[in-house]
C-alpha cells in the first residue's frame, strides 16, 4: 500500500554505500498538521534506495515536495537482543500538484511538433519588445 505526503524539504543527505550491493540516501521534510485543538509540526525522515537515490537531486532546500512512499519494517536479532525498526521508503518525489487552480483555466492545447503556429508576422499592436 502506498502513501503520499507534502511538506517542505529541510535537509537532504549524501548517498551512503552501506554494503557492496546496497546504497541509500535520506532526506527530511517538515509537515504542518492542523488540528481543531492545536497545530503541530512534524519532521519526517525518508529513505531512498538503490537507483532511486537521485530522485531528490533536483529539489532544493525549502522547496515544497510531495513524497510517495511505503512503510517497511524489520526485525533484527543480535546477541540475543531483538530490535524492530521501521523505514519510510520513498519511491517517487515530485513538486506538489496544484489543487486549487481556477476551474475556468484549462490545459494548454496540444500542438504536434512541426505544426507550431507562426506568430512572427502577427498584426498585434502590443508594445512588447519581443
Cell 541509500 locates to 24
Cell of residue 57, nine digits = 537531486
Average pLDDT, the chain: 81
Fold classified for 3-94: OB fold (Dihydrolipoamide Acetyltransferase, E2P) (2.40.50)
Question: 17: helix, coil or strand?
Answer: strand
Distance CA 24, CA 16 (A): 5
Residue from 20, 97, 92 nearest 54 by CA = 92
pLDDT digits (tens, 9 = 90+) for 4-16: 999 999 999 999 9
Mean pLDDT, residues 67-72 taken together: 96
Question: 55: helix, coil or strand?
Answer: helix
Distance of CA 98 to the CA centre of its chain: 14
pLDDT reported for residue 105 = 42
List, in sequence order, every residue forming a beta bridge with 90; answer none if it has no partner.
69
pLDDT reported for residue 98 = 52
Does the pLDDT of residue 107 top 80, yes or no? no
pLDDT digits (tens, 9 = 90+) for 18-34: 999 999 999 999 998 87
Amino acid at each position: 500500500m502506498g502513501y503520499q505526503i507534502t511538506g517542505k524539504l529541510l535537509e537532504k543527505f549524501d548517498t551512503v554505500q552501506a554494503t557492496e550491493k546496497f546504497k541509500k540516501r535520506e532526506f527530511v521534510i517538515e509537515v504542518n498538521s492542523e488540528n481543531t485543538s492545536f497545530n503541530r509540526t512534524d519532521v519526517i525522515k525518508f529513505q531512498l534506495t538503490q537507483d532511486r537515490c537521485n530522485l531528490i537531486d533536483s529539489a532544493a532546500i525549502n522547496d515544497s515536495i510531495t513524497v510517495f512512499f511505503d512503510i517497511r519494517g524489520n526485525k533484527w536479532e543480535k546477541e540475543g537482543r531483538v530490535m524492530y525498526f521501521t523505514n519510510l521508503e520513498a519511491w517517487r518525489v515530485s513538486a506538489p500538484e496544484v489543487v486549487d487552480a481556477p476551474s475556468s483555466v484549462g490545459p494548454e492545447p496540444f500542438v504536434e511538433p512541426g505544426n507550431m503556429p507562426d506568430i512572427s508576422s502577427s498584426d498585434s499592436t502590443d508594445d512588447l519588445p519581443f
